[in-house]
Structure 1
């Protein structure tokens, strides 16, 4: 296991470190991960944060938790897809999101259900309490965009957004997050998330898509400014 952690590591950061060890073959197929207590000690964080990280990896298909036995590696990514994902920059990620997420909003209008919207509503409410906690906000923000994509019922899109979440948890993105996520920016993102959700709930696909474009443009400008510092 690596010693790259610090006290501010969130679940997405820990998931990224474990994902990298799986990708590099440090953790191999069928290996059992150390217990949550050991991982918490290794990464200097709470067991609940480790549990969230393992749940994230399980939702992505990297690991499987077996009752009474532990958590095991069950998937090894192919080299080609892993390299493309690992080498993507934050600005390349934004270009990909621009290509996909406005249309994801349109599909959410067509296929989304009340339970999907209720889940996004709960995530919006959580994000609105995190203006002074950029690490936790970023984790819930990732959950919001994943929930939005899940409402499309399109398995390929869900997989692609999961890969984007992987990029967002890498070191370059983490550094950018610390440079860009202040309380003012988080509040702006929260307002845009609410507007997107409201447009989807009221079945206005183009309005939802346009607000998503504005949201992504806000994020891209923040990243551009951070890259210039």
Structure 2
């Protein structure tokens, strides 16, 4: 498949759409294992992270399934597909946008935040600490923390932008699935990042607040990369093990 630079859809959507067409046309049959991530990346002339996003999109649409320790297979009895437009925003794109925008929001908030707002942020942090990073309550508190910082910027437009960016993660099944996986790969508790942001805001230091927010969201991007890389490495290891087993079997004939 040749991917046109004039095509407005995301690369992962193009790859997912092409593979979905191949499945419907019978080129990939039910129960058949799809080519390796490396082979698909070479075939479609895209990066391996793009292939990973495409695989997650196809899994959400019910066309493929990941079998632990084996690879990605066409589902035996595909369920009705989720419409592709619901898969519009990827987690990498969303978090990159948040890093750019919320870094500046934090810098502005550092110059205008009140003691009452700092107290509110500290209270939200306490809720996050009790709830834990990987729970619904923890995520809800996380959202409130970031929106409260936007509110402290005294800019209603920025509040709306931050709210919309958070809402996008729930509207996109692809984004939600990837961020859920990434939360399991946290190298350090995210509460530590939020404490650093609050500390910078208390200091009324815009540069420090900007850096703390950008470092926090940069860590989220790193967690996303780690999550997709671990999945890919595990599949690669199992593919090599399967080849070795097959070679050993053939050698014994």
Give the TM-score category using the shorter length: 0.5 to 0.7
Deviations 1:111-147 (A, max 9, x none): 1111211111111111111227422211111111111
Change (3 A) 1:104 1:162: same
Match for residue 204 of structure 2? Answer: 203
When normalised by structure 2's length, the TM-score is 0.53
Q: CA deviation at 1:85?
A: 9.6
Partner of 1:142: 143
Structure 1 residue ranges without an equivalent (≥5): 1-83
Question: Larger deviation: 190-199 or 168-177?
Answer: 168-177
Q: Distance in 2 between matches of 1:138 and 1:186?
A: 17
**Is the Cα contact below 8 Å between 2:193 and 2:212 reproduced in 1?**
yes
2:183 corresponds to 1:181: yes
* Partner residue, 1:120: 121
Is the radius of gyration larger for structure 1 or structure 2? 2
SS of corresponding position for 1:176:
helix
C-alpha distance in 2 between matches for 1:138 and 1:158: 18
Unpaired segments of 5 or more residues in structure 2? Answer: 1-84, 232-253
Alignment of 1:1-229 (within 5 A): 87-131=88-132, 133-170=134-171, 171-182=173-184, 185=186, 188-228=189-229, 229=231
Over 3 Å counting, the alpha-carbon distance change for 1:202 and 1:132 in structure 2 is closer
Are the structure 2 counterparts of residues 176 and 154 from structure 1 closer, same or farther at C-alpha, using a change threshold of 3 Å? same
Change in 2 beyond 3 A, CA 1:105/1:185: same
Pairwise CA RMSD of aligned residues? 2.4
Aligned 8 A contact 2:110 2:205 in 1:
yes
Count of aligned positions: 146
User: Secondary structure at the residue paired with 1:88?
Assistant: coil
Distance 1:133 1:98, change over 3 A: closer
Which whole-Å CA distance do the structure 2 matches of 1:86 and 1:103 have between them? 28
Deviation at residue 86 of structure 1 after TM alignment: 6.9
Change over 3 Å in CA distance of 1:112–1:132 after alignment to 2 = closer
Cα distance between partner residues in 2 of 1:130 and 1:176: 21
1:31-78 deviation per Cα after TM superposition (whole angstroms, max 9, x unaligned): xxxxxxxxxxxxxxxxxxxxxxxxxxxxxxxxxxxxxxxxxxxxxxxx
Normalization by structure 1: what TM-score? Answer: 0.58
Q: Could you tell me how far 1:173 is from its partner in structure 2? A: 2.8
